[in-house]
Structure 1
Amino acid sequence: MLTVAALASLIILGYAAFYLIKCYAVPFGPCRRCKGAGERRGRIIRLKRECPRCAGTGKRVRVGRRVIERIRTEYRAGNQ
């Protein structure tokens, strides 16, 4: 029988595995600043402008994908 701590650990590991698989398969997610629209209103002058964070695409690289690429780069640098 699983204890509560073991069950919680399995759920967290399952979620982490799912997120890494998702980051590997779909590396881009919606921009959090413009909510995927690619444009946002200015603070002082309320005109619509291109989102500076995603450059108007509405997509950003997921944090998990950056971690995967960092690990991959370090692995390749160590094997040369």
Structure 2
Amino acid sequence: MVSLSHAMPGLIFITLCYALLCAGSPFGSCRKCNGWGAAVRQTRSGRIKRGRECRRCEGHGRRLRIGRRLYNATTRLHREGTAPADPSRRSH
């Protein structure tokens, strides 16, 4: 069995690679429509036809990665927490 101390460098490497992926390419293809933006169907005559718009990605075929969503949320939380106080909202 592999100990935790032996597995840590690999886990850190994988995490850093995913962080770089989220920074460089924040959008991934939608898993529901495989990046098509709609369900592809085949008519009775065999012709391929675009189906209804994908509800998950709203027809764009791209989704924001989970890691990028977490980064955006923590950045927003930090920005709102360290914002200077608005002088017009001070109570006397």
- TM-score, normalised to structure 2, is 0.72
Structure 2: which 5+ runs fail to align?
42-49, 84-92
Q: After TM superposition, list the pairs within 5 Å mapping 1:1-80 onto structure 2.
A: 4-40=3-39, 48-80=51-83
CA distance in 2, matches of 1:73, 1:24: 16
| Runs of 4+ residues deviating >3 angstroms | none
Q: Which stretch has the larger CA shift, 68-77 or 32-41? A: 32-41
- TM-score, normalised to structure 1, is 0.81
- Equivalent pairs, count: 74
Q: Which stretch has the larger CA shift, 5-14 or 22-31? A: 5-14
Percent of aligned positions with the same letter in both sequences? 34
CA RMSD of aligned residues (A): 1.9
> Larger C-alpha radius of gyration, 1 or 2?
2
